[in-house]
Amino acid sequence: MVLWRIRATVDDRPGYLSVLTASLALRGVNILTVQVHTTEAGAVDDFLVDAPDVVGEAELVAAVERGRGRDCWVARSEARGLVDQPTRVLGLATRLVRDPDATGEMLRALLGADEVTWRPAPAVPHGGVGAASMLVADPCGGAYE
């Protein structure tokens, strides 16, 4: 099975989302997450799906279009797509409020860094990004690398 991210616009009318999901189900696609964002053009549905290895991008687009979806975008995804990022970030922020000394640990978790170290020397005025590292100014002085 292969994870895919699918985004498509569907008319915001009763039953239209179910037509789209049924079209995906007919191809053996399992929907793991869905988010619906309403717009003037319709509901933009964002799916994370698990599809059989034999189902490729073109077949997923065709399934969406047969399911009344339009303006389809499809890309391969990873298991980390299953994590609700806003909830994850809010959780890290909550931990940081409770333990301000954990800033380095929270930055490591947020950025997926192997290591974050604090140094007393201030960062350049706005920090900086290099080929293999990032320098983030600490508002209390010093910097995180």
Answer yes or no: do 114 and 62 share one domain.
no
Residues 6+ apart with CB under 8 A from 11: 42, 43, 68
Report the pLDDT averaged over residues 29-51: 90
Give me the residues paired with residue 31 across strands: 49
Answer yes or no: do 77 and 97 share one domain.
no
Predicted pLDDT of residue 144: 80
Predicted pLDDT of residue 69: 95
Answer yes or no: do 77 and 8 share one domain.
yes
Answer yes or no: do 74 and 105 share one domain.
no
Structural domain of residue 123, as residue ranges?
85-144
Answer yes or no: do 72 and 106 share one domain.
no
Predicted pLDDT of residue 129: 63
Report the pLDDT averaged over residues 110-138: 71
Q: Say if residue 122's pLDDT is above 70.
A: no
Answer yes or no: do 71 and 103 share one domain.
no
Number of structural domains the chain divides into: 2
CATH number of 61's domain? 3.30.70.260
Answer yes or no: do 10 and 71 share one domain.
yes
Q: 24-28, 75-79, 100-104, 120-124: which has the minimum mean pLDDT? A: 120-124
b (16+ CB within 10 A) / e for 67-84: bbbeebebeebeeebeee
Looking at per-residue pLDDT, the higher value among 66 and 41 belongs to 66
Classify burial at 51, counting beta carbons within 10 Å of its beta carbon; exposed 0-12, middle 13-18, buried 19 or more. buried
Answer yes or no: do 125 and 113 share one domain.
yes
Tell me the whole-structure pTM to 2 decimals: 0.59
Predicted pLDDT of residue 80: 67
SS3 of residue 130 by DSSP? coil
